[in-house]
Amino acid sequence: MNDCLFCKIAAGAIPSTKVYEDDKCLAFMDIGPVVQGHALVIPKEHFANLSEATDEVAAHLICIARKIAVAQTKALGAAGFNVITNQGAVAGQTVGHLHFHVIPQFEGNAHKWNWEARPYGDLSEAAALAEKIKSAL
Protein backbone atom coordinates (compact mmCIF):
# COMPACT_ATOMS: atom_id res chain seq x y z
CA MET A 1 0.00 0.00 0.00
CA ASN A 2 1.20 3.52 -0.72
CA ASP A 3 1.77 6.01 2.06
CA CYS A 4 -1.36 8.07 1.43
CA LEU A 5 -3.55 8.63 4.51
CA PHE A 6 -6.84 8.65 2.62
CA CYS A 7 -5.89 5.58 0.54
CA LYS A 8 -5.36 3.82 3.87
CA ILE A 9 -8.75 5.03 5.10
CA ALA A 10 -10.38 3.90 1.83
CA ALA A 11 -8.80 0.46 2.26
CA GLY A 12 -9.91 0.24 5.92
CA ALA A 13 -6.31 0.11 7.14
CA ILE A 14 -6.95 3.27 9.19
CA PRO A 15 -10.35 3.55 10.89
CA SER A 16 -12.87 6.21 9.98
CA THR A 17 -16.42 7.07 10.94
CA LYS A 18 -18.18 6.29 7.68
CA VAL A 19 -21.39 7.92 6.53
CA TYR A 20 -21.55 6.56 2.97
CA GLU A 21 -19.72 4.06 0.77
CA ASP A 22 -20.06 2.70 -2.75
CA ASP A 23 -17.66 1.05 -5.21
CA LYS A 24 -16.09 4.37 -6.24
CA CYS A 25 -16.13 6.57 -3.14
CA LEU A 26 -16.30 6.87 0.60
CA ALA A 27 -17.64 9.61 2.88
CA PHE A 28 -16.56 9.86 6.51
CA MET A 29 -16.50 12.34 9.36
CA ASP A 30 -13.65 14.86 9.41
CA ILE A 31 -11.52 14.32 12.52
CA GLY A 32 -10.96 18.08 12.88
CA PRO A 33 -14.33 19.58 11.99
CA VAL A 34 -14.68 23.31 11.43
CA VAL A 35 -18.36 22.77 12.27
CA GLN A 36 -19.76 19.66 14.03
CA GLY A 37 -21.02 17.27 11.35
CA HIS A 38 -18.26 18.20 8.83
CA ALA A 39 -17.75 15.24 6.47
CA LEU A 40 -15.27 14.39 3.70
CA VAL A 41 -15.99 12.64 0.40
CA ILE A 42 -13.07 10.86 -1.27
CA PRO A 43 -12.59 8.65 -4.31
CA LYS A 44 -11.35 5.14 -3.48
CA GLU A 45 -8.83 5.45 -6.31
CA HIS A 46 -5.93 7.77 -5.56
CA PHE A 47 -6.01 11.18 -7.23
CA ALA A 48 -3.82 13.89 -5.74
CA ASN A 49 -6.39 16.60 -6.34
CA LEU A 50 -9.37 17.70 -8.43
CA SER A 51 -7.22 18.57 -11.46
CA GLU A 52 -5.88 15.02 -11.57
CA ALA A 53 -9.28 13.31 -11.31
CA THR A 54 -11.32 12.08 -14.25
CA ASP A 55 -14.55 13.88 -15.15
CA GLU A 56 -16.44 10.74 -14.12
CA VAL A 57 -14.90 10.64 -10.63
CA ALA A 58 -15.29 14.40 -10.13
CA ALA A 59 -18.95 14.24 -11.13
CA HIS A 60 -19.65 11.27 -8.88
CA LEU A 61 -18.00 12.92 -5.88
CA ILE A 62 -20.09 16.07 -6.33
CA CYS A 63 -23.28 13.98 -6.52
CA ILE A 64 -22.38 12.21 -3.29
CA ALA A 65 -21.30 15.47 -1.61
CA ARG A 66 -24.73 16.86 -2.47
CA LYS A 67 -26.45 13.81 -0.93
CA ILE A 68 -24.43 14.18 2.27
CA ALA A 69 -25.18 17.91 2.43
CA VAL A 70 -28.91 17.31 1.98
CA ALA A 71 -28.76 14.64 4.70
CA GLN A 72 -26.97 17.06 7.05
CA THR A 73 -29.76 19.55 6.40
CA LYS A 74 -32.52 17.01 7.08
CA ALA A 75 -30.99 15.04 9.93
CA LEU A 76 -28.88 17.64 11.76
CA GLY A 77 -31.06 20.68 11.13
CA ALA A 78 -28.38 22.53 9.18
CA ALA A 79 -29.66 25.75 7.63
CA GLY A 80 -27.12 25.59 4.77
CA PHE A 81 -23.74 24.11 3.88
CA ASN A 82 -20.43 24.62 2.11
CA VAL A 83 -18.94 22.10 -0.32
CA ILE A 84 -15.30 22.85 -1.07
CA THR A 85 -12.05 21.28 -2.14
CA ASN A 86 -8.68 22.80 -1.33
CA GLN A 87 -6.11 22.22 -4.06
CA GLY A 88 -2.45 22.90 -3.34
CA ALA A 89 -0.76 24.06 -0.16
CA VAL A 90 -1.49 27.64 -1.20
CA ALA A 91 -5.21 26.82 -0.97
CA GLY A 92 -4.84 24.99 2.33
CA GLN A 93 -4.59 21.38 1.09
CA THR A 94 -2.90 19.25 3.73
CA VAL A 95 -3.83 15.73 2.58
CA GLY A 96 -2.68 14.87 -0.96
CA HIS A 97 -5.66 12.72 -1.91
CA LEU A 98 -8.67 14.44 -3.50
CA HIS A 99 -11.46 15.23 -1.05
CA PHE A 100 -14.51 17.43 -0.89
CA HIS A 101 -15.36 18.95 2.46
CA VAL A 102 -19.09 18.95 3.19
CA ILE A 103 -19.62 21.43 5.99
CA PRO A 104 -23.06 21.98 7.52
CA GLN A 105 -23.86 25.51 8.62
CA PHE A 106 -26.16 26.21 11.56
CA GLU A 107 -27.92 29.43 12.47
CA GLY A 108 -26.02 31.07 15.34
CA ASN A 109 -23.07 28.66 15.09
CA ALA A 110 -21.74 29.17 11.57
CA HIS A 111 -18.15 28.90 10.42
CA LYS A 112 -17.29 32.34 9.00
CA TRP A 113 -15.05 32.25 5.94
CA ASN A 114 -12.53 35.03 5.51
CA TRP A 115 -14.20 35.98 2.23
CA GLU A 116 -12.52 39.29 1.57
CA ALA A 117 -13.60 40.92 -1.69
CA ARG A 118 -10.83 42.55 -3.71
CA PRO A 119 -12.68 44.43 -6.44
CA TYR A 120 -11.12 45.10 -9.86
CA GLY A 121 -9.90 48.65 -10.41
CA ASP A 122 -11.54 48.47 -13.82
CA LEU A 123 -13.84 45.78 -15.26
CA SER A 124 -11.53 45.46 -18.27
CA GLU A 125 -9.15 43.65 -15.89
CA ALA A 126 -11.83 40.96 -15.35
CA ALA A 127 -12.39 40.73 -19.11
CA ALA A 128 -8.65 40.26 -19.76
CA LEU A 129 -8.48 37.47 -17.17
CA ALA A 130 -11.62 35.86 -18.63
CA GLU A 131 -9.97 35.79 -22.06
CA LYS A 132 -6.90 34.04 -20.62
CA ILE A 133 -9.05 31.45 -18.84
CA LYS A 134 -11.14 30.84 -21.98
CA SER A 135 -8.03 30.30 -24.08
CA ALA A 136 -6.94 27.50 -21.70
CA LEU A 137 -10.27 25.61 -21.62
**Contacts with Zn ion, residue ranges (CB under 5 A):** 4, 6-7, 46, 97
Point out which residues pair with 49 in neighbouring strands: none
Q: How many residues bind ligand AMP (CB under 6 A)?
A: 11
CA distance 90 to 15: 28
Nearest approach in angstroms of CB 130 to Zn ion is 34
Nearest approach in angstroms of CB 73 to ligand AMP is 20
Site string for ligand AMP, 28-67 (x = CB under 6 A): --xxx-------x---------------------------
Point out which residues pair with 83 in neighbouring strands: 102
94 binds, among Zn ion, ligand AMP, none (CB under 5 to 8 A by kind): ligand AMP
**Given candidates 1, 55, 89, 94, which one binds ligand AMP under the rule CB under 6 A?**
94
Length of the chain: 137
Q: What is residue 85's three-state secondary structure? A: coil
Q: Would you count residue 86 as binding ligand AMP (CB under 6 A)? A: yes
CA angle 78, 65, 2 (to 5 degrees): 130
Secondary structure tally for the chain: helices H, strands E: 3, 5
Q: Would you count residue 90 as binding ligand AMP (CB under 6 A)? A: no
Judged by beta carbon, residue 112 or residue 132, the one nearer ligand AMP is 112
Residues whose CB is less than 8 angstroms from the CB of residue 71 and which lie 6 or more positions away in sequence, other chains included? 19
Does 38 qualify as catalytic in the annotation?
A: no
What residues are labeled active site? 99
